Amino acid sequence: MRLLLLFAALAAAAPAATYYVTIAGIGGEAEFEQRFSGIAGEIDKLLKDNKEPQVVTLRGSDASKAKIQSVLADIARRASASDSLVVMLIGHGGFDGVNYKFAIPGPDLTASELAGMLDRIPASRQLVVNMTSASGASMTALSKQNRVVITATRTGTEKNAVVFSRYWAEALRDGAADTDKNGAISALEAYRYADQKTVRFYESQKRLATEHALLDDTGKGEGVRAPGPENGQGLLAAQMAVMRVGQTQIAAQSGEKQQLFAKKEKIEQEIERLKYQKAAMPVNEYRKKLSALLLDLARTQEELEK
């Protein structure tokens, strides 16, 4: 009996774990394939450099529905009610007027299918960050009590590729995102950081914004742009830490890293501008310029991941 009580006490004293699952879907074009995989790789490195022990990142052929089901089923077997779960989706999404679908190799993953997998995981605090086009259409299916849901768009009709994912990754590496200076970047702080950066991006490009992020943490499925006391949103998100501020952020703020991050953002903006100039230039010239930019981007990303 004493031995059983000892085991029970040890189990109760065991620190809660946070399980991270990052999934990069298919891009369809070289630019998007590289962008989605690069952002997923950046988040993976940030988490592992920060000594997070439960990190799974699925990219390329690994991001199939069968693999996603397997990973989440394994977490369902291992997680306890005291644990947390963070799922991040990066890529293209679509909405046919009825169902939201995340574009992955093989059959696409619907929001309802993903919600069913997450519902089987006993972790009492969950965060889903859907950083895809049309992701707003997934809000209703994914929302649940004790689950924070963030979408990069407010509806399923905002179908352009999003930049929110780029700035979500930046929020996790930038200690400035920890606005309350408590040593952790919460889901709410990361959301606000990424949303503000996204708004500024479209303003700097002098373009009409084609994405408007939402957050819901009440389980009502009614996301809001600006969570706060006046709308009752954001309390759970403020309490859920996504990244502990530590050596990862310090390393990211080094002179060399800052230069690489700045170079990466500049290249990504040049790619965005080139896409808008495509119609006014010969196809071969466009392809040549795009290939050069993608090669430069790949080399920069490789340096960042070292």
Residue 252 has pLDDT above 60, yes or no: no
pLDDT computed for residue 10 by the predictor = 34
Q: What is the 3-state secondary structure (H, E, C) of the chain?
A: CHHHHHHHHHHHHCCCCEEEEEEECCCCCHHHHHHHHHHHHHHHHHHHHCCCCCEEEECHHHHCHHHHHHHHHHHHHHCCCCCEEEEEEEECEEECCCCEEECCCCCCEEHHHHHHHHHCCCCCEEEEEEEECCHHHHHHHHCECCEEEEECCCCCCCCCCCCHHHHHHHHHHCHHHCCCCCCEEEHHHHHHHHHHHHHHHHHHCCCCCCCCCEEECCCCCCCECCCCCCCCCCHHHHHCEEEECCHHHHHHCCHHHHHHHHHHHHHHHHHHHHHHHHHHCCHHHHHHHHHHHHHHHHHHHHHHCC
pLDDT at 31 > cutoff 90: no
Mean pLDDT in residue range 176-197:
92
What is the pLDDT confidence band of residue 7, given thresholds at 50, 70 and 90?
very low
pLDDT of residue 3: 38
Task: Please give the Cα distance from 175 to 29 (Å, whole number).
Answer: 33
Q: What are 106-157's pLDDT values in tens digits?
A: 999 999 999 999 999 999 999 999 999 999 999 999 999 999 999 999 999 9
pLDDT digits (tens, 9 = 90+) for 236-246: 999 899 998 76
Residue range 212-234: mean pLDDT, rounded: 94
Buried/exposed 201-229: b ≥16 CB within 10 Å, e otherwise: beeeeeeeeebbbbbbbbeeeebbeebee
Listed range (221-230, 235-244, 283-292, 295-304) with the worst mean pLDDT: 295-304
The pair of structure tokens assigned to 86 is 């963070």
114 is written with which tokens? 């993903």
User: For position 36, what pLDDT does the model report?
Assistant: 95
Compute φ and ψ for 150, nearest 5 degrees.
Answer: -120, 130
Average pLDDT of span 244-268: 65
Residue with tokens 């040549």: 288
Percent of the chain with pLDDT over 70: 87
pTM: 0.81
295: left (phi over 0), alpha (psi -120 to 50) or beta: alpha
pLDDT category of residue 229 using cuts at 50, 70 and 90: confident
- The answer to whether the CB of 104 falls within 8 A of the CB of 89 is no
Question: pLDDT averaged over the chain?
Answer: 88
Q: How confident is the model at residue 14 (pLDDT cuts 50, 70, 90)?
A: very low
> Residue 247: which pLDDT band, with cuts at 50, 70 and 90?
low
Check residue 6 and give its pLDDT.
Answer: 37
Specify the higher pLDDT residue, 273 or 200: 200
Structure tokens belonging to residue 58:
């699925």
Residue 258 pLDDT class (50, 70, 90 cuts): low
To the nearest 10 degrees (0 to 180), the angle between helices 164-173 and 255-277 is 180
pLDDT on residue 167: 97
> What is the DSSP pairing of strand 125-132 with strand 84-91?
parallel
Q: How confident is the model at residue 54 (pLDDT cuts 50, 70, 90)?
A: very high
* 50-59, 157-166, 262-271: the lowest-pLDDT one: 262-271
Close Cβ partners of 38 (under 8 Å, ≥ 6 residues apart): 297, 298, 301
Q: What is the pLDDT of residues 72-96, one digit of tens each?
A: 999 999 999 999 999 999 999 999 9
d(CA 117, CA 137): 18
Angle between helices 187-204 and 164-173 (to 10 degrees): 130
Q: Are 170 and 193 in contact (CB under 8 A)?
A: yes
Q: What percent of the chain has pLDDT over 90?
A: 63
Q: Which residue has the tokens 């679908």?
A: 101
Q: How far apart are CA 268 and CA 42, in angstroms?
A: 15
Token representation of residue 187:
């889901």
pLDDT greater than 50 at residue 13: no
CB atoms within 10 A of CB 19: 24
Query: 254 versus 157: which is more confidently predicted?
Result: 157
